[in-house]
Amino acid sequence: MNVVLLGIPGSGKGTQADFLKNRLGLRTINTGDLLREAMKKKTELGKRTKEFMEKGDLVPDKILLDFIEEKIKEQKRSSGFVLDGFPRTLKQAEDLDLIFQKLGTELDCAIKLDISEKRARKRLEGRLVCPFCGAFFNLETNPPKDDILCDICGNKLVRRFDDNKETIATRIQVYREKTKPVENYYKKQGKLEIINGDAEADVVSRRIISVLGK
């Protein structure tokens, strides 16, 4: 089972990707995580990525697609994968299909988590991360037990750097302009499933399982 998760920032893609990983044994492919990992390990791709990021440029599609192709190859013998945060543009979706063809596999389902912008903004503004151990919390959906201290190590939690009001508005706007066409692309292929994402995480998870027929 190969799945793509779509939805504006704050729609819960990361949470549901983790759920699918645990429940169905799918491997998660998150381009943001892949890039960070490669930079940390200082691989060839990681070094190239870092150059772009240091210049403030977007990482070119070619690099992202190489990463993804690599990951899909590694996972061919597993039970499938879930892509979170990719494709973000129509061109990326088309290129992704070419990779699938090349590797003799295909996408089974694109799931769009539908949520109002107001709710998404609230969730994003509530996101907290522990700078010490990396644990995530959310004032809206998963609040820390003690004020804004980490449940695990007790350090003070901070907001994610890209979760301030202006960048959130920009990221939602970018989704509308660039990623919305990706939804239509999968709709035409008969692969798009729209799920109401405005509910508790486990309710949304059950909805996903039901459309996947698992």
Which residues have a catalytic role annotated? 13, 88, 127, 160, 171
The residues pairing with 196 across neighbouring beta strands, listed in sequence order, are 114
CB of 128 to Zn ion, least distance (A): 10
Residue 152 or 169 with smaller CB distance to Zn ion:
152
Say if residues 37 and 30 touch (Cβ distance below 8 Å). no
- Choice from 133, 158, 169, 211 touching Zn ion (CB under 5 A): 133
CB atoms within 10 A of CB 59: 18
Nearer to Zn ion, 31 or 138 (CB): 138
Contact 84, 9 (CB under 8 A): no
Which span sits near Zn ion by CB under 5 A: 44-52, 55-63, 95-103, 127-135? Answer: 127-135
106 binds Zn ion (CB under 5 A): no
Of 85-93, 102-110, 129-137, 171-179: span binding Zn ion (CB under 5 A) = 129-137
The least distance separating Zn ion from the CB of residue 9, rounded to whole angstroms, comes to 23
Sheet with 127-129, strands from edge to edge, namely: 136-138, 127-129, 158-159
Other Cβ atoms within 10 Å of 154 Cβ, number? 11
**x/- contact string, 139-168, with Zn ion (CB under 5 A)?**
-----------x-xx-x-------------
Which residue of 26, 59, 130, 208 would you call a contact of Zn ion, by CB under 5 A? 130
**CB-nearer residue toward Zn ion: 101 or 132:** 132
Number of residues that bind Zn ion (CB under 5 A): 8
Of 106, 87, 74, nearest to 13 (Cα)?
87
Q: Is 166 exposed, middle or buried (0-12, 13-18, 19+ CB in 10 A)?
A: exposed
Output the smallest distance, CB 163 to Zn ion, in A.
18
Residue type at 69 in one-letter notation: E
C-alpha angle 83-208-169 in degrees, rounded to nearest 5: 60
Least distance to Zn ion from the beta carbon of 135, Å? 5
Binding site for Zn ion (CB under 5 A): 130, 132-133, 135, 150, 152-153, 155
